[in-house]
Amino acid sequence: MQTNQVLDARGLNCPLPILRTKKALNALQSGETVKVVSTDPGSVKDMTSFCEQTGNRLLSSQQAGSDYEFVIRKT
């Protein structure tokens, strides 16, 4: 899946992956996407909750080795 931006949040713990994701989304136009890569296992629940609360769309969530990858579309 092609994205407009990739955010490397590996090595960061809660709440930093969410805060960086929020900042990245603020810089995007509506309909654009960001891929977030994190190593924090808590980010799976956090990204889901974040998208539900902000209205942005979580297009995919998967684990790739020790990384958690999320693709979010800005609404």
Q: CA torsion sign, 63 to 64 to 68 to 74?
A: negative
Write the DSSP assignment of 2-25 as a string of letters: --SEEEEETT--TTHHHHHHHHHH
Tell me the one-letter amino acid at 34.
Answer: V
In the annotation, is 14 catalytic? yes
Of the candidates 3, 4, 10, 14, the residue annotated as catalytic is 14
SS3 46: helix
Residues with catalytic function: 14
